[in-house]
Chain A
Amino acid sequence: MNKELTREERTDALGGMGCKRKRVEDARFTQGKGNYVDDIKLPGMLHGDFVRSPYAHAKVVSINTDAAMALDGVVAVLTAADLAPLGLHWMPTLAGDKQMVLADGKVLFQGQEVAYVVAKDRYIAADAVELVEVEYEELPVLTDPFAAMESDVVLREDLMGEGGALPDGAHGPRKHHNHIFTWEVGEKEATQQVLDEADVVAEEMVYYHRTHPCPLETCGCVASMDKVNGKLTLHGTFQAPHAIRTVVSLISGIEEHNIRVISPDIGGGFGNKVGAYPGYVCSVVASIVTGVPVKWVEDRMENLMTTAFARDYHMHGKISATKEGKITGLWCHTTADHGGFDACADPTKFPAGFMNICTGSYDIPTAYLAVDGVYTNKAPGGVSYRCSFRVTEAAYFIERMVEILAIELNMDAAELRRINFIKKDQFPYQSALGWEYDSGDYHTAWDKALKAVDYDGLRAEQAQRVEDFKAGKTRKLMGIGLTHFTEIVGAGPVKNCDILGLGMFDSCEIRIHPTGSAIARLGTISQGQGHATTFAQILATEIGLPADSITIEEGDTDTAPYGLGTYGSRSTPVAGAATAMAGRKIRAKAQMIAAYLLEVHDDDVEFDVDRFVVKGAPEKFKTMKEIAFAAYNQAIPGIEPGLEAVSYYDPPNMTYPFGAYVCVMDIDVDTGVTDIRRFYALDDCGTRINPMIIEGQVHGGLTEALAVALGQEIAYDDMGNVKTGTLMDFFLPTAWEVPNYETDHTVTPSPHHPIGAKGVGESPHVGGVPCFSNAVNDAFRAFGLRHTHMPHDHWRIWKTANELGLHG
């Protein structure tokens, strides 16, 4: 007989919530045995590759595929003409627009898909791409959304009505032929009145540049149509495999039960792998046509130029306050550059995502937001790059506006934030732009952060530095970047969140095996977040079986329950909740079995870590392992055999993680080089499931924030040429540029989430971008700078210093 373990020892043995469990995924990844899409090889597999447009706006006059078809090893060359009879030359986008799969008479952005070559290997496919002759007739190019709204040039003839009429778009009336939608929230007149009567108003145009999620693995798929049994299997880099299955079914006409979508290991997503791309459609068609599997994997240039950019928001803001610094109103008009097609990945009712979280962490009584979406000759996309829908834009906007207001008021920016935070006793808090913040304790987090970095000491040092600079003793300035952000994640309640009509619930199905181990399947898919590790921890705590005895499986639509996938930090808030709820169903049945075995009434037993005990008599118990076995080997009156459960969780509200960040930066005025001396990040993501993984997510998100704030962009010239199409020009920081981060936390559990968790993957990005940017701006505050646009690369910083007259 084993020595009786203490309650603590039994808890530890489970490896449940709150422990730093090592990741179960790592064994295969460290040995090079991950299974990513490009590792998939099927018998007879062919390779697809695209002919792409060199022009940003042009008519496609003719396409000649003869020479390509004549090349040995080329099996097919598809053009829009081949797809049209199937109705597949266009496809619906997630935003209610449609997008060309292959150029249908014209192209709207550089790199657009024109023809799809299928060949025996990737070298032959690449050779054949060169042999396809396309004749273009150039059209005027629009790369500026403001100019596009004034221009006579029509980008989307397909959306014009009879005689130049302008039919409504997916989100209501359109004002101009290059206009997509207007989205308004809040009170326009009331806000205007507050601004008119305010003591102080700060106004600024805050541009959040275009960038790209750029996961290390690009997008790709392997489509395999089995003509014998009529089944299509589609392997691919999909952040939302079930939604992809539904989309493929809707556009191909293949019944959903005959489609199996599999997301294998995914080499990072960050929003890039949410959408449906022409490569997927063409590969499916090619496999149907040829009867063999077809692989398509984009190269880096194709990835940066064509699949899913992020941001490109021109945010014109006004913020008003009393003389004492109490914020009274916020006004924002955003011009959103969506590129040639509206392919944003946002819930249907939110064409600008959750941009209306832009009142941030502050108690702002009156606010108004309007967003106008505009077509230009740039790539489509507008995904959430490591953020919930458009939340980075919102956080950047408000955190810049607050800094600018502090300048206007001649106040300390930390103090200005403090007097405007929503107070702890105001939660649940109804924001002026329509959200109900579930919980928060901003003052505690803020004070903890400022104390940790010795904020007053830093300001004194900074003041001394300015003196020294003016006295010619140093050429380096010091910036203190502050941010207090509020995220909105966990989309979302089905009553207002859907994508293509699919409610944004998520799901978990659990099967307990007779010997007390288990498998759980979810509607989400990990791209590095460590779901196989953390979801097992949630379950271990809920059902009292060790995490090491629980397999987590995701990404195969034939086996996993339906779910909307992983993005927008929704996995823990939604699928994590489903997991807990399914676990509780298991526990409820286990309770009945335990009571039967212990020969007491159901109400007389209670759950205790890994067992049910008789109330008041803890020596009488049945472990979950014993209960699992009994579920399969005993005929229990009134109870079905087996121990399984499934839960579909529709969250009652979003969750609202928050955080307080401080960045200390030295800037060389003569070179524009930045040196991040210190970065402190306090995150409150509610209940913490695995601190090791949370910390890793924070490091990663901050590094992506550093990239975006300090150099990363997708830039176009006036002809619509992409100037940043390779990793030579598109900034991805290396170990050399990245600092060590200090992480910290407070814990304010979500009151409506079954385990109180809020999600964390994206917080560091949402909070990090404004924090780095505020540090750069702050360094020059003493010399009269109000605002300068990101990305703050060395050249732009040098230019700022130069314009301020700091180069003598």
Chain B
Amino acid sequence: MIQASKGLLYPWEKELCGLTRFCLTATNCGGKSGCLPLAGCGEGYNPEVMTKPLEIRVHGRGGQGGVTCAKLLASFFARVGKSVQTFGDYAGERSGAPVRAFTRVSDQAITNRNKVYEPDEILVLDPTLLSKEVLNGLGEGGRLLLNVPEPRWEELEQRFLRFQLGLVDATGIARRHRIGTRSLVIVNTTIAGAYAKMAGLPFDLVEATYQALGFMSNLEAAREAYNGVQVWEPREWPKEREGLSPGEGRALEKVEKRIESLPAHRLSPPTPLKTGSWKTQQPVYTENLAPCNAWCPAGNDVVGFIQAAGKGDVEEAARILARTTPFPGVCGRVCPAPCMEGCNRRELDGAVQIRGLERWVADQGFDVVPEKAVPPKVLDFGVVGSGPAGLSAAYQLALRGHRVRLYEGEKELGGVLRTGIPSYRLPREVLDREVGKILELGVETETGRFLRFEELEMLARNHEALILATGLQSLRKLEVDGAELEGIEQGIGFLHRVNLGECPELSGHVVVLGGGNTAMDCARSALRCGAERVTVVYRRTRLEMPAIREEIREAEEEGVQLLLQRQPIGFEGNRRIERVLLAEVEMGEPDESGRRRPVVTERVEPLACDHVLLALGQSRDLEVLPESWKVHEQRVSVHGEVLPIFLAGDYATGEGTVTHAIGHGRRAADLAMKELGEEVEVFERPDRARAVPATDIRFDHFDRAAPTRMPVLDPGERVRSFEEVNGGFSRSLEAHRCFSCGHCTRCDTCLVYCPEGIIRRQELGYEVDYSYCKGCGICVEECPREAMEMTQ
């Protein structure tokens, strides 16, 4: 029976069932429940009777969880019926400061409320704290558990011969198990596992404790530490202590008496404290990949240009874009903008309207084409095809100071930009302006002849390297009954005619077959050419339509009707088309591309119409190449010998967007220059997985603001002409919505939050006074945009 020293008798002091001194349930369960959760009282783990209280001291740094660590140890012992006390040694400093925490364990009620000066056991959570002071009061034979990386174990093992020594790489283990925050690994739950092993506690006890305290997600790290801790028994044990247990040995130690006699008052002047000595890691400013940059296939520095525009430096914004693309005005209008799909702001209140901003910058009309470089050696390139890929390649080559000759089958340059995309989406002035800039660099052109076979062979001989960017010239046909009827035509051909100005008169009901951009452009152009009614027929559902979302919406606004899940199986009419026969389609299992496979049913209905436009897809035409040319990995070889001929854009990849073509054209140019011996860094699309994730953006630092909308023409008015539908932004306000992911904006958050007040503004960026930086990581944690990180 325990005598409480002050009259109060606590319930756990009663010997209720005779099996344990401290019953935690007070239910007199006879050992069947509760107080010994492992295997019942008296069975399983049997806590030793303690001759004197056990005192533990934990040394860590603010933020590492030392106080919780001490609490965990206390909880272990509380579970086996011991009386415990645990507390931290709180100080004014925050994260990073040396912190101590204490745990007492006893079979008696604990009344001592002093800090622990003569511990039986010490845990050190941070190797940089290992100093004589930390070991103060630990007697010979005492238990010492250190968190240190393995390479240092050998040295330390030799240093602490008089203690029972445990070494564990808790930081490594906790990091592997991702315990902690972005800036700080938290090791308490891990090292507690190692402690349990050293103290001879069963792992079940750790598990039961973590379960009770809600730490189960850290259990595996604790298990790894439990199994991985290396323990050495004391190896130097003075003769006079033989036969004594380590704890008793400690009691013989003489503690230095710190107490001075009165009234010798001390006057302790404040000592300057260089908190920099506390740190184990320090903050640095970094540049991390913004998702928009990672997602833009053209490789544009999106965050760079938006930030410049936001600061009002539009010319700089235009200059940044001009480094990677000659077509900001084009992409700013027709790009499907994968950058916006990646934009982190989507997770808050909608993506930054990057495409609109790109257009706005281009439309300000700054003349920012970079200076032509003077190459070590002027090389001579031929480029076939003047779509965005060919023009982008020509642009990059010309900027490098090389000779470029561009061959185009059409009379005018631009590829699909001119022959496919209608002017209500891409006004010709915009295209002409941007193409004009490329030509100003001295690119020579030869237009009006489609080159094939030996003509191509000749080009290969006449130029040092050749880039083939001829796009997708083969059109998919529909081989069904009645396909030859009058009034059925390829959409591409129709658009070609429309775009080159011979506006074909249409009337009645036009049916467009297909679901991509070509289909949408055909449908909307048909309306503008006089069709009374336009229906787009597509095999799958709306979700699977490859056309740009906004295009579908705008088409519907203009009155285009969608007829989904219908497959054309024949045309009927008397010489001229009168009806298209449509079979209903059901969606089946997904195919290799992940899209659900259309299953054509027997249910067929006719749809009366006056005109049919086929927009069923295109593919590249390898037939035009000389017979001996073999294409392999976007290169041409003859009889096994790889020639300096590079495929670019849709002809190489079939990726099917302008921005992809621009990026790929640039890459082909880089590869060609490199092949000819010029030193260039070949453009690679960044790895999207490396981009700053939205979870690393501190949304709470940003005010909510909905995306800016563009003015658009009224649908009724639109269909009457080929005038541009979208009005574009009138100001660059949208740029202020950009988080500037991974790029410092000098927002001062780090400076404001640094508890030491030692971050200072510099002309560019900031300077951290490392002699006072205590390594707490708060600046990194608070940085709204992940433009900082902690380094060891």
A and B bind: no
State the A residues within 8 Å of B (CB): none
State the B residues within 8 Å of A (CB): none
